[in-house]
Amino acid sequence: MSRHSARGTAYNRLRHQWLYTADHGWTCHLCGRPVHPDVIAGTPMSPSVDHVIPVSVAPHLALDTSNWRLAHLVCNQRRQAKPIVEPPSGATRRW
């Protein structure tokens, strides 16, 4: 069973709409590098939805797009359900 099967089609439809129509700047919020929308889905550098507050912590936020950020699939997978660590004040994302 897929991780998103409980949310099913509604999640997939909303995710696809958000990924390709929202104004998120096409920058991975985790690594700061560009995300290219034409990269094949499921490959490491493909666009993915990262839940800022993980679904495992707050399942009620799974479909809340204000909890979503754009990330490369590989960056999202590396982060897993860990909290986002912000760089020190004044530092760039590539620290």
Query: Residue 2 pLDDT > 70, yes or no?
Result: no
Model pLDDT, residue 78: 93
Among residues of the chain, what percentage have pLDDT more than 90?
Answer: 57
Mean pLDDT confidence for 50-66: 92
Q: Is the pLDDT of residue 66 over 90?
A: yes
Res 89 pLDDT > 80: no
By DSSP bridging, strand 68-72 and strand 47-51 are: antiparallel
| Residue 32: predicted pLDDT | 93
Tokens 């797009």 correspond to 65
Q: Sign of the CA dihedral 30, 31, 32, 38?
A: negative
Listed residue (66, 33, 34) closest to 51, CA to CA: 66
